Chains A and B, each alone.
Chain A
């Protein structure tokens, strides 16, 4: 049986909020018996977007992570709601029953992702239901796909084997894999959110004026050896990405055949680093 999955490209999310707004538009003021009771108009977004800003000075980037119910195959809420309050469909979608889950505040805490919200007025736990009611009517994808300006969100109905192959081929990740919940929501380019960069701008003095150095070779090393190598661009800038948080001690070695070299010691903590201007020593290498 083919099942639903979502693939979200973190590098393409621009935080427009449309996915979140589409969920409000769909579920606020509407009752879909068997699928979902009305959602609250304000607060308790079932589709949320988190932001991660990295860097400082003028070397800054921002990444956005949309999160929603992962429709996990081994969902903790399924265990807690095994009495019928929560069920998993054959197509992979998890539904919190809007009648049987009445009063089940414990289901909110059951989700390790915080994807279940508590609707006080309805006395119901609620979440993003993959727009199952629309898919069952023949819609080809949930609404978040339709409103995303960059096509960052893709909905795929396929076999689990095919999805696993795709996840491997494209280095897709899931949230909190260590919990072994087996989410059906995958992420591409998650490193923008979870990993650090170290960057800088190489310069030299020419006739007493500071100039950006293009084409300098920059090598990033740690105790195990070279981690990465890059050439500086027209602004003298370089950036090494996908470094682990608290990566520890590194060294940056810069060389240029005319303008010389520089060496910088770096300690990578919790946050990305913009080393700023790195002045070459003028001794050709």
Chain B
């Protein structure tokens, strides 16, 4: 009976394919692409069929004559039926593939073509997008700045808009507090960089065809010293792919494992399949590579410092947010925004979802205080007292607040006694008993510039009121203050402040309404950090859910060698580097250094540079130029979308297309992994199909396709793709989630999105840390920490050695018992190694530069390249035909220097010089100049007095020094500069 079924399936396959071709031109075109024979049979040859695909038609026979170009051989009947019947179980298929119960043989390119063709015969039938009245098709996509409808007509993008929820999209949630009712607007919000997507797709900076550096000859002179200087010539894809694949083979042959390093930007165009933790990682694992290990750049002080006091290594030291929105609306009287500007940082990926919620808090009369050298957009919108501090001195302010609490008894003594350890030692430091220096408000005024009386007033208000402490983008961590020489000190102080006020009690918690909307956290959809299609189990969160929910073939990188990302230039130029791991499994994981090169592995000789430009996202950018030009690097390939930044330092440029030109699937603001439940930042959970809305521009291809083409030349195409196209993988991701219980694949592809309904009000999560404050077992829905991290019983206490908040962390005492390091157990104030107190430097460079996350662009997304963002004067200003990056400066500093609003200025120190346009206003405190990092434009020019950078790469000026020697942490906000009026004429083109 089963045998008859198999015969029937095989017999009808040819006619089905022919009928599909007749009906669907797209499928017909695919069939026409190649002529080949394919055989599907049992291993014992008792059943089988040979298919002849020729000129777009399929004929078949039961003859198993040799040779067929492609052979799909099943070990047994059961496996054949499991794979070939409709709605096959992927777990069965993957198991069969892993265990050689199905083997697909033949030339790799044809194997992939055959399997993708079979898949396409199904997916081609499905309608994608919705026709609208004006002749458009309305697709959907998702970005770092929010989800979008994409309207396309005649193959061109007309517009992209936020998503308006319809009546069929289920209800929105309601929150009640202090007699009022709150419910969010039934539409998604969008950040400026999301809204400008169309302009970047059609940018004239798009890489449209493969290119080769004119003086690079893989068979002759490579001229590495000319990278960044030479021009490029157009080559064909075949030539480009042949060069890249032979270079990969050459590396393995000549140098061995480890010689290829893969480096990517920190952020990516959205989409689970195409993400750098997905397709790129799968590609890398199949060729073997030295991992460029990232540092926890946006939350340095939390990872290296704060977590020692209270744990949360799996959240990299950042606090959770469960239940805090309701708690804050119910109980809080005051919110202190400390280095927290969510109106600019948008909860990273959450656009302006939190803005509505913050305005509810304002309606309820909750008061706000803002501590920041800049009266930032959040302070501007919400109002409240602004306390400007000198960058890097914030720990002193925090310690002085604690001084007042101790002196006036304004802290929660019961909580401190029962829920913390080490307070006596801390108190001795704060009061001056330890070192003879009482840390009074007068003491901190000399450091911070904040008047002592205001610090006393704040401390008293805070100590007497139920107060939320908001840090960084999500309100629970991050923030510019954590990225300075005193970053760890500051983040640690934030924990101690909360510990003294009874963290977890009603109205006492961390948050700024960016996180914790009451969405359904139990509906499963994977986030980008969960590994996508990579098969990588060690360096993604795939094992947690994704790997079992979406069966796929595991891949492993056999190269153990790592190089720390911040030290990659040194690793190349000096030949060695030391780093510290970003590893969330335990608090202690950050202590042991790792060394490059690792014995047994080759040093790096080839750079596979993928994704967005990072020149202005990593400190001391100029080092990277020298690294690219170093003689030890034989080959640099750059695979990216726009001709900017790192692309100009490559030997071969491979043009990738944007997310609108390839299919993908994702959820809004869902990173997963190290940021679990991140989608609680948005008011509605929206899961989207990211349609391929238009054809790839020029000869650009999706990253996935580029990897596939390279790997096919290495015989690894079938392994990489598992015979799937990107659309097929999207379906596999869809099937792995909870979506199929609520919507069919066909409906999802058609409409493009699904809104997850909220949970019943009565089922909302309890408040973060409430369990701890009340001495109960942990009752939050997070799989954190690992069971062994509990001091005693599972679920009881914090993952610190004592189970309590430790004022003097045991984990730091173990490595530094004498308080000798720059990261001592006793979190005393140690002034910045580049700041107001470093007098010799201050004399030459009297202003402090802070560079925050860009408000309008996101990393290098949507900046430069003709993006509409150029039209926003708070982002770039047009002066004499060039769009300059902004430097915000107070009139007290501008006027003596002859600097006028929107006049050009040179910002410089010993590391370099950048030309900016000045924004002169009282919004930034005197002595400080504020700009953003992440310029996508890196453009150097020779001028009188030396080389200047004119694109706005502020990281030209920042120090490469780690916050403390025992960490791998950046400190861009400890940066002294001088600023001068720039009188040179207009920038000349190269």
Contact = CB atoms under 8 A, between A and B. Distances in A.
A212 B164 contact: no
A146 B352 CA distance: 12
Contacts of A149: 189, 343, 351-352, 355-356
Contacts of B195: 18, 21-22, 25, 147
Interface string B67-98: 00000000000000000000000000000000
Given A61-B380, A150-B355, A212 B453 contact: yes
A184 B870 CA distance: 29
A28 B162 contact: no
B453 A209 contact: yes
Contacts of A233: 385
A58 B158 contact: no
A26 interface: yes
A43 B871 contact: yes
B352 A62 contact: no
B241 to A, nearest CB: 32
Contact of A56 (B381, B383, B442, B922): B922
A150 B878 contact: no
Nearest to B146: A147
Given A12-B359, A14-B355, A15-B377, 5 more contacts: A15-B380, A25-B195, A59-B386, A147-B189, A234-B460
Contacts of A20: 871-872
Contacts of A159: none
Interface string A202-237: 010000011110100000000000000000011111
Contacts of A57: 922
Contacts of A138: 133
B874 interface: yes
Given A17-B872, A147-B190, A29 B377 contact: no
B159 A150 contact: no
B457 interface: yes
Interface in A45-67: 45, 51, 53, 55-62
Given A29-B198, A209-B442, A18 B190 contact: yes
In this complex, the interface size class of chain B, counting residues with CB under 8 Å from chain A, is 35 or more
Contacts of A16: 191-192, 343, 352, 377, 856
Nearest to A210: B453
A145 B386 CA distance: 30
Top-3 shortest CB links A-B: A149-B352, A212-B457, A17-B872
Contact of B381 (A45, A137, A143, A150): A150
Contacts of B856: 16-17
Given A17-B872, A41-B866, A210 B386 contact: no
B826 to A, nearest CB: 27
A232 to B, nearest CB: 11
A146 B162 CA distance: 7
Nearest to A15: B874
Interface of B: 133-134, 156-162, 164, 185, 187, 189-192, 195-196, 198-199, 202, 343, 351-352, 355-356, 359, 375, 377, 380-381, 383, 385-388, 442, 451-454, 456-458, 460-461, 856, 866, 868-872, 874-875, 878, 921-923, 925
Interface residues of A, number: 49
A158 interface: no
Contact of A137 (B134, B457, B874): B134
A123 interface: no
A14 B190 contact: no
Given A60-B386, A61-B380, A24 B375 contact: no
Contact of B461 (A22, A151, A209, A234): A234
B156 A21 contact: no
B453 A211 contact: yes
Given A14-B381, A16-B352, A25 B921 contact: no
Label chain A's interface by main secondary structure. Answer: mixed
A212 B454 contact: yes
Given A17-B856, A53-B921, A147-B162, A137 B387 contact: no
A135 B875 CA distance: 31
Contact of B457 (A14, A24, A236): A236
Contact of A18 (B192, B387, B452): B192
B145 to A, nearest CB: 10
B386 A137 contact: no
B126 to A, nearest CB: 27
B697 to A, nearest CB: 14
A21 B866 contact: no
A42 interface: yes
B162 A24 contact: no
A180 interface: no
B878 A43 contact: yes
17 contacts: A17-B874, A21-B869, A24-B868, A26-B159, A29-B202, A30-B159, A42-B870, A57-B922, A58-B925, A60-B923, A62-B380, A146-B161, A146-B162, A147-B189, A149-B356, A150-B359, A236-B453
A147 B458 CA distance: 36
A69 B484 CA distance: 45
A209 to B, nearest CB: 7
B761 to A, nearest CB: 24
Nearest to B163: A146
Contacts of A214: 457
Contacts of A55: 922
A131 B959 CA distance: 48
B868 A21 contact: yes
A45 B352 CA distance: 23
Contact of A29 (B156, B380, B442): B156
A30 B388 CA distance: 46
Interface in A1-39: 12, 14-18, 20-22, 24-26, 28-30
Contact of B452 (A24, A146, A209): A209
B83 to A, nearest CB: 46
A21 B351 CA distance: 15
Given A55-B922, A234-B460, A28 B868 contact: yes
Nearest to A56: B922
A62 B872 contact: no
A217 to B, nearest CB: 18
Contacts of B161: 22, 25, 143, 146-147
